[in-house]
């Protein structure tokens, strides 16, 4: 999208903010407390936790169960600040107490191993079986290791991806701390679609922020298989201003993506860019929908899950909805804010359908902040509507390309406010 003036942009970003409503849904009459249906939500990230939260807010009679194997959720948003030493891992770690205590969501820390769509039942690793009237699956991503020779979950202990926050984030941070001054960091990303594409450029920025302070002779090589973009141009302008000569961007879009990794040599080989050796290698593999979605017939040949964007119902399995990174909701990017928005719309649609209502046309919105250092950020916003059964972006864009230092500082502060707001909204905190 084109650059837009500041007043219009702020208005759009407000529309893409944390909206504690149904994004335009109007509930039919007294339908809010009648259904008493059983809704099971699989996956406690930005999509699943938000959906469970808002299902109960929209209809307190619903029996809502959220199934998530982990007791705590560590967010990918703001995980790059941990790599930069700006925040601790505790800052991006959240629990499910708010959903349980404030909204009456049943929390089960377990893993779904199978889904019987015809019988409307799921089986858990613990041996339990749960019946449902509606099922929401929000499994996030899993890694497609076989596309890169030498890449594997085990080898990610040497070449961390850190694209699922937590232990991998801490490992990459530890490697950066141990690297000598003058060392080379390689960041390699796959072709789209993958989780949170703008986070790739933020990562390079914030690692550069850390290196500039502690290891100023070091370099970052960013291998980007998505090619050039207007958003990348914004980052590159910031890099020229803040980290001149420290970050080198390599276009891997023309058959240049990584095809093999050598963990002993700490090297990566691309189709056309040859073999590159680093002191720290951040290899982000190709991705597809989380395993449970793929093994239960919710994903198509692309590895992602096709849905009806009006209510995020699977087009492959009846009475199952898929939200978040796993679903195909183009042109919405796979981000935490997209998942949060989808969770609310999905929850509202389920409540309306269970109570015999008709789903109206609604507005979908997203926003994302990108930090280049603690005092320099910019943002983007997107507003979407359904047209002929498909999502179309009707407004949005990047914050002003030419902005003062004061404006960039304000956006960095807004980023912190955005993070606080979306995590409180998602996890039901007060």
Q: pLDDT tens-digit profile of 19-75?
A: 444 454 544 443 444 668 999 999 999 999 999 999 999 999 999 999 999 999 999
Q: Let me know: does 107 contact 69? Beta carbons within 8 Å.
A: no
The architecture that CATH gives domain 6-142+288-426 is: 3-Layer(bba) Sandwich (3.50)
pTM over 0.75: yes
CATH 3.50.50.60 maps onto the chain at: 6-142+288-426, 149-285
Q: What pLDDT, on a 0 to 100 scale, did the predictor assign at position 36?
A: 85
Q: Could you read off the pLDDT of 213-272 as tens digits, one per residue?
A: 999 999 999 999 888 888 999 999 999 999 999 999 998 887 678 999 999 999 999 988
Cα–Cα nearest to 250, from 231, 272, 230? 272
Q: Which positions of the chain have pLDDT values less than 50?
A: 1-6, 8-22, 24, 26-33
Spatial separation of the C-alpha atoms in residues 103 and 54, rounded to whole Å: 9
Q: What pLDDT, on a 0 to 100 scale, did the predictor assign at position 382?
A: 95
Q: What is the mean pLDDT of the chain?
A: 92
**CATH, domain range 149-285:** 3.50.50.60
CA distances from 22 to 39, 55, 99 (A): 18, 10, 18
Q: What pLDDT, on a 0 to 100 scale, did the predictor assign at position 35?
A: 64
């Amino acid at each position: 999208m084109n650059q837009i003036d500041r007043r219009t942009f702020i208005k759009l970003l407000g529309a893409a903010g944390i909206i504690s409503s149904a994004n335009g849904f109007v509930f039919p009459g007294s339908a809010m407390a009648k259904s008493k249906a059983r809704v099971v939500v699989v996956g406690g990230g930005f999509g699943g936790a938000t959906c469970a939260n808002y299902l109960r807010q929209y209809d307190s009679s619903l029996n809502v169960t959220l199934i998530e194997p982990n007791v705590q959720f560590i967010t990918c948003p703001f995980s790059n600040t941990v790599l930069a030493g700006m925040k601790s891992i505790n800052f991006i770690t959240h629990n499910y107490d708010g959903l349980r205590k404030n909204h009456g969501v049943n929390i089960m820390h377990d893993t779904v191993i199978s889904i019987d769509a015809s019988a409307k039942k799921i089986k858990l690793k613990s041996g339990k079986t749960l019946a449902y009237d509606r099922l929401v699956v929000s499994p996030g991503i899993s890694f497609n290791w076989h596309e890169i020779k030498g890449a594997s979950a085990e080898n990610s202990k040497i070449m961390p991806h850190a694209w699922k926050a937590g232990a991998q984030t801490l490992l990459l941070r530890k490697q950066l701390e141990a690297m000598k001054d003058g060392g080379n960091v390689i960041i390699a990303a796959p072709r789209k679609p993958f989780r949170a594409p703008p986070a790739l450029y933020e990562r390079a920025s914030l690692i550069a922020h850390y290196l500039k302070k502690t290891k100023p002779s070091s370099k970052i090589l960013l291998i980007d298989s998505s090619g050039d973009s207007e958003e990348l141009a914004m980052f590159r302008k910031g890099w020229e201003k803040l980290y001149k000569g420290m970050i080198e961007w390599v276009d891997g879009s023309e058959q240049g993506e990584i095809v093999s990794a050598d963990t002993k040599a700490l090297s990566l080989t691309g189709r056309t860019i040859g073999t590159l050796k680093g002191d720290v290698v951040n290899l982000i593999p190709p991705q597809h929908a989380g395993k449970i979605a793929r093994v239960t017939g919710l994903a198509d040949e692309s590895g992602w899950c096709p849905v009806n964007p009006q209510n995020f119902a699977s087009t492959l399995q009846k009475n199952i909805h898929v939200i978040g990174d796993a679903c195909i909701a183009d042109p919405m990017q796979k981000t935490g804010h997209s998942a949060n928005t989808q969770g609310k719309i999905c929850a509202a649609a389920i409540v309306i359908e269970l109570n015999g209502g008709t789903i109206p046309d609604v507005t979908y919105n997203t926003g994302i902040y990108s930090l280049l250092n603690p005092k320099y950020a910019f943002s983007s916003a997107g507003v979407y509507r359904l047209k002929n059964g498909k999502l179309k972006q009707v407004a949005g864009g990047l914050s002003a390309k030419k902005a003062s230092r004061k404006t960039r500082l304000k956006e960095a502060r807004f980023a912190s406010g955005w993070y606080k707001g979306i995590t409180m909204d998602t996890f039901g905190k007060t």
